[in-house]
Amino acid sequence: MRSKYIIIGGSAGSFQAITKILSELPKNYNIPIFLCLHRLKHVRTGFVEALSIKSKLPIIEPKDKEMIKNGRIYLAPANYHMYFELGNYFSLSTEESVNHSRPSIDLSFLSAAQVFKNNLIGIILSGANRDGALGMKEVKDYGGITIAQDPEECQVKTMTTAAIKATTIDHVFIVDEIINYMKNLQ
Amino acid sequence: MPLTQEDILLFISVLKSISNYDFTEYSIKSFTRRIEKILIDNKLDIEALINKVKKDPVFLEQIVKDITVNTTELFRDPKTWHVIKYRVMPKFEDKPFINIWHCGCSTGQEVYSMMILLNELGMLERSKIYATDINTDVMDVAKAGRYVYRFNIDYLENFDQVIRQNPFNFEEYKDVPYERYFQIDKVKDTISMNPFLLNRVIYKKHDLVKQSNIFDFKFDIIFCRNVLIYFNYELQNKIFGMFHENLNNLGYLVLGIHESILGQQAQKYNKKGLVYSKKII
């Protein structure tokens, strides 16, 4: 089996879901996970630390051209867009915000979809805008698996409902089901 | 229709054959993204874009400008500026002249940030500031030193963090007025840099892909932040070598906060927190 990659997008109301997911993944979880989360522009530091408290896996803000490694969780750095390149490495960009967002979930998901194709699982969580909906469509169109957090469970459901409208979602899951799904991928 | 890699490579080879611009070693992801945006903004498909740049040199220049425009802000990444203020600049305390190159200066916010810092440290008078970019449109904005207030309002907080506060001593607070450096006009929605800053900078067009140092001296500090992220690994390494050759001994290279020197050139530099110092080899 070819190696899998998981990309997770979230905004308002996703922090709790993310920390829960990270806290339940085992120490030996070896599928790389990319987090693309909206956060305040001027809150540059402290986010990795906050996410790391509950996580058994290392959380890293990747540098430009850094290689992707198994068993790591990568967080899109504040104020950059995060892309994936053929050859299994990251590249970053400071081009203008998309939908008022940098990092843009759509751009990261699109880039991941093009590179990882049917080895990619795209997960969209709670959020107050539509960023990520187009990205989820790209994940689907390139043959990946799409998962949306159940809007009923989301603190803010704009983002997941937009994604559900934009494309075929393979699974609408509550967070516990997302965690189970992720664990069973190994 | 999504662009294929072949489309992009064809466009790059056409540009190379009809102009001086060489994007061969650009990071393909960001380049593709720029082209997609250009196609949407100009309501063209890739074939029409290629035909138009072939026929219309003015349009070609405009497209190159659209590809090479980068966003920046005042005191972007305050942590980097703290390192410059407290770790780098003290090394130049006794140096009679300080040469600084802002390579890829874009719209100039970094240049003004550095001049403001130098002035607060009493070092501006003996500093020579050079700024280059491939894109003359963004450099015109830099020269004018006038920015849209509402886009920059968030970054005044950065000014406070770097210029007014001391992260190592929370009791210290210097009440430096913004007006010392720029005027805010909320009606016109502008932030305008004061004339004494505008006149201190020498701007030159420079193509980092093709040209080495275009000045006939070396530098104490080279800034090149969030520029090399658009280049591939090989080109990045070539440029790190060029910067090494053009830094004075004890000189510093400042990269973007999420950039690093990978591969062979890394041994030519000492990583000092968020900046690199030249290793003498």
Same domain flag for B110 and B206: yes
- Whether residue B175 is contained in a domain is answered as no
Residues ≥6 apart with Cβ < 8 Å to B165: B172, B173
B64 and B202 in a single domain? The answer is no
What stretches of chain A adopt beta strand conformation (E)? 5-10, 33-37, 59-60, 73-75, 81-85, 89-93, 120-124, 145-149, 171-173
Comparing CA positions, the residue from A17, A59, A18, A12 lying closest to residue A38 is A12
Domain limits at A9? 1-117+172-186
Residue A128 lies in a domain: no
Establish if B200 belongs to a structural domain. yes
- Tokens 């506060």 correspond to B165
Tell me the residue range of the domain where B111 lies.
78-145+196-278
pLDDT recorded at residue A1: 52
User: Could you read off the pLDDT of A133-175 as tens digits, one per residue?
Assistant: 999 999 999 999 999 999 999 999 999 999 999 999 999 999 9
- Gap between the Cα atoms of A10 and B140, Å rounded: 38
Does B185 map to a domain? no
Residues of B in contact with A79 (CB under 8 A): 76-77
Does residue A43 have a pLDDT over 60?
Answer: no
B210 is a domain residue: yes
A122 in a domain, yes or no?
A: no
Tell me whether residues A111 and B70 touch, CB distance under 8 A: no
The number of domains in chain B is: 2
For the residues B73-82, what does the mean pLDDT come to? Answer: 94
Half-sphere exposure of A81 (CA within 13 A, CB side): 28
- Give the Cα separation of A94 and B226 in Å (integer): 7
Is A95 close to B30, i.e. CB distance below 8 A? yes
- Would you say residue B157 lies in a domain? no
Q: How many domains would you assign to chain A?
A: 1
Helix (H, G, I), strand (E, B) or coil at B265: helix
Q: What is the pLDDT of residue A11?
A: 93
CB contact under 8 A, A91 and B29: yes
Q: Active-site residues of A: which are they?
A: 11, 38, 131
Cβ(B101)–Cβ(B222) under 8 Å? yes
Same domain for B39 and B119?
Answer: no
Residue B206 within a domain: yes
Do residues B138 and B215 share a domain?
A: yes
What is the CATH classification number for the domain harbouring B269?
A: 3.40.50.150
B244 and B127, same structural domain? yes
User: What proportion of chain A, given as a percentage, has pLDDT over 70?
Assistant: 96
Query: Can you give the CATH number for the domain in which A52 is found?
Result: 3.40.50.180
Boundary residue ending a domain (B30, B49, B68): B68
Residue B33 lies in a domain: yes
Query: Would residue A149 count as lying in a domain?
Result: no
Which residue is associated with the tokens 């305040």?
A: A40
The mean of the pLDDT values for chain B is: 94
Closest Cα in chain B, distance from residue A125 (Å): 25
pLDDT at A67 over 70: yes
Query: How far is the alpha carbon of B69 from chain A, nearest alpha carbon, in Å?
Result: 8
Assess whether B60 and B97 both reside in one domain. Answer: no
* pLDDT tens per residue across span A11-39: 999 999 999 999 999 999 999 999 999 97
pLDDT per residue as tens digits for the range A68-125: 999 999 999 988 999 999 889 999 998 888 888 899 999 999 999 999 999 999 999 9
Closest chain B C-alpha to A90 CA, distance in angstroms: 10
